[in-house]
Amino acid sequence: MPIADVLLDTHAFLWALSQSSRMSERARQTFLDPNNRLFLSVASVWEIAIKSSTGKLQLGQPLSAFLDAHLSANGIELLDIRRDHAERVESLPFHHRDPFDRILVAQAVRESIPLLSADATFDAYEGVTRIW
């Protein structure tokens, strides 16, 4: 049975696009299953923008062109950061200190959708289902 809605961690999105061997088979199948509705947080877009601008990530093209090509080609929808997402961060335990990871947790909890991520630290958060 398909999972339906899935929130992609930033690395999962990038690894799926590059067909990285670091992705588990379950993660790859989840990403490729046309029955799943894939979401990328605007927080991930922000994280990619920072890494690209500092030279830690080479996209080969401007970020807007990269996103336009890969979001539509893979049927990925953007998940905006809403006020309730940001407010939920306040009550999260500090398993993660990274603000990008913390907002992804808040979004996964608020939207009741699993998070596609290799990061096992997400398992410590109540209400987060991690797929890998």
Specify the amino acid at residue 17. L
Task: Please tell me what DSSP assigns to residue 56.
Answer: S
Domain 5-131 top-level CATH class? alpha beta
pLDDT digits (tens, 9 = 90+) for 24-34: 999 999 999 99
Q: How many CA atoms lie within 13 A of 60 on its CB side?
A: 5
In percent, the amount of the chain with pLDDT more than 70 equals 98
What pLDDT, on a 0 to 100 scale, did the predictor assign at position 1?
Answer: 52
Query: Which are the contacts of 128, defined by CB distance < 8 A and separation ≥ 6?
Result: 105, 108, 109, 114, 115, 122
The pTM of this model reads: 0.93
Q: Count Cβ neighbours within 10 Å for each residue of 88-111 and write b for 16 or more, e otherwise.
A: beeebeeebeeebbbbbbbbbbeb
The domain locations on the chain are 5-131
